[in-house]
Structures are given as C-alpha cells and as structure tokens.
Amino acid sequence: MALVQNVDEHLQRQAAVKEMLAGVKAAKQLQGALRTAIGIETVRHTGKMMRTRAAAKKDKTTGQLDRITIASPAYSFKLNYGFEGVKSNGVSMSLKPTNHLHTAIEQTNIINALATEIGNIRADEVIASINF
C-alpha cells in the first residue's frame, strides 16, 4: 500500500512540475507580447515600462500552476485602462485606454494553449491513477 501511495505522490509531483513548465512557457510568451504591444502603443519608451514582467506562480499546497502574474509600473496600467481625473499637481488629465494587455493576451492565445496543455497533463494524471 505504501508503494502505491509513493507512486501516486511521485506522479502528482511530476504533473505539477509539467504544469509549472507550461506556465513558465506561457508567461514568457505573454511577457514578450506585452513588451511588443507597449512598444507599439507608446511613442516614448521608458526603461521601467519595458521591464514589464510576467511570471508563473504555483499553489503552495499542491504545487500546481495557480496563476500568471503581470508586474509593471502603475502608469502602465493607467495607460491600459485609461485615466480621467486630477493629477497630483492639480492639472486635469484624460488618457484614452490603449488596451495593450488585452491585445497581448489575444495575440499570444495563451489562455487556450495553456488550458489545453494543463488539461492534457491532468488527463494523463487521472488515467495513470486509475487502478484496473
């Protein structure tokens, strides 16, 4: 019985590692697409804005892929969603949204690709754990 548990745990760890690798691959694709979209949408490129990062994060208990996070300066998100209001110096300002985040996600098609890859990994895990 202990051997079966060890094999199951090993298979779960292998599946979790495969999921993280798929997440890292998707995050790198998204990061490249984001930097390209920022370069297209903006006239002036700053070093901080072009350092936008995307990273895959895992669940602490299961080790499976939990999310892909995007780290960027606050003004990158203001550029994406738009801004209408008074700046800290008292000047009214209105920026139209550029939607570069949505554009990058749509161009890379990472949601469908990641869902397919994780679905295949978990399907293999389920098939391997079935005892006939």
Q: What is the pLDDT of residues 40-93, one digit of tens each?
A: 877 776 677 788 899 999 888 888 888 999 998 888 888 889 889 888 888 998
Q: What's the number of domains the chain is made of?
A: 1
| C-alpha closest to that of 32 among 15, 51, 46, 13 | 51
| C-alpha closest to that of 68 among 97, 121, 105 | 105
Structure token digits, residue 85: 């209001």
pLDDT given at position 27: 93
Cα separation of 64 and 94, whole Å?
42
Quickly list H helices, 42-99: 74-81
Q: The domain containing residue 91 runs over which residues? A: 2-129
Indicate yes or no: pTM above 0.85: no
